Structure 1
């Protein structure tokens, strides 16, 4: 079985986000970029499935600028076998991403697609679900445990009330949650080997997909600063303030 894993290049999660002075978006110049954390979890899970002998190949794909090749090389250094870069400088929305991934999946014929549940830059949480609908495949979202059988997969999902275990037929789309695993670090020898692994470059036009945005960004603003707290001298005073000022009791 082949596993397809989409990965996205985003601003590193340790970086403090700055909004451009004109409010047109987030400042990306001279900012550290890295693989989306949920996608790291997806790559790790795919590699673990392969190491258990339940898959034969892990293919990673990214849609973005030429610099996204660095993100793919990181996935290859972790242990992925091949990479595909669909190169574009456009701001890609989830629907266009899903359409491109559908075309890649039809070409690669994977038995499983493992997608991060969301990207930390736009927090859309849409791509995996749209992709499953376009392919007509079963989906299992917010996975915290994945078990692969001969023709089915058993997925434990994180839901508001606790954990839910479902069974889906393969091929399927799985989106990963934070508690699924802890991604490995790429060793120096594997980083060097990754430079020689196959990386195929495509364009959205190769798949007949338009990347023209359907949404217009009007303005980006930083959140307002939080007001200072208030010190109270007793529980009675706290309860009174909650009643009269906060309105929560």
Structure 2
């Protein structure tokens, strides 16, 4: 068990440069790396799958599902718990995707408990669709996205990933860079050479280099 009057725990990787505060202020986890889950690869016993959670400029909630029109509309009760954690007044957005046929759908009403979808003249009376509703977590409306710096927050070192690809080149095909390159009908090397804006942004933020940088002591821990 770890606890304190300012934060629950502080962890850092002196080689990779990532750090995390656990149980500090309004945050469960606050740090420079990503939040991931890992599971065994279902077909290759010597590998695992590592997924990362999506991250945005707000503390978001969501619920999703599938439905169909009945007489041109669908009144969908959303997940029972969604209304208990989501601001009912601001931040609600809904997204619709027709399934099986071209169809113009629109959101007639949205709340934290119900979604009303209607179909245009292009839709059959029983048109099917998928939906997702995003909301803003109640109580987190004023969390500050830009904050005063208390310590360096560089991008963690990617050395481990570069080493893994160098030692096992077949792993490169599963990276985001390779996936987006394939969408463009290009190679990862060609796409990387053209990422000038990305390179400039990365340079301005900095990637942690253990030879040049060091993990600083968090001011609150001194």
Category of TM-score, reference length = shorter chain: under 0.3
The alignment's TM-score, normalised by the length of structure 2, stands at 0.21
Larger radius of gyration, structure 1 or 2?
A: 2
Which structure ranks higher in relative contact order (CA pairs < 8 Å, sequence separation ≥ 6)?
1
The alignment's TM-score, normalised by the length of structure 1, stands at 0.20
Give 1 or 2: higher helix fraction.
Answer: 1
Give 1 or 2: higher strand fraction.
Answer: 2
